[in-house]
Amino acid sequence: MPKLPVLNSKKLIKIFLKEGFVVDHITGSHYVMFNPVSKKIITIPYHTKDLPKGTIHSIIKLSGIEIKKFR
């Protein structure tokens, strides 16, 4: 399994927007994104610090996107 890079919320949101996700709504400090093709919904916490690798991995797993695209 490839290593995950250190990402902050802004970078992660940009990647998902390029992959076809759209921002459904924002609740507090969390972005809820939706992919109209795959019907997948993901929630990304929006904080200024880098996200923990476990959190990034869980979000990627829920999205159904290959980890290779996050290198």
In terms of C-beta density within 10 A (0-12 exposed, 13-18 middle, 19 or more buried), how is residue 24 classed?
middle
3-class secondary structure, 56: helix
| pLDDT value at residue 67 | 85
Mean pLDDT of 30-40: 96
Mind listing the domains of the chain with CATH numbers? Answer: 9-70 (3.30.920.30)
User: What is the reported pTM?
Assistant: 0.88
Sign of CA dihedral 8, 28, 41, 55: positive
| pLDDT value at residue 4 | 83
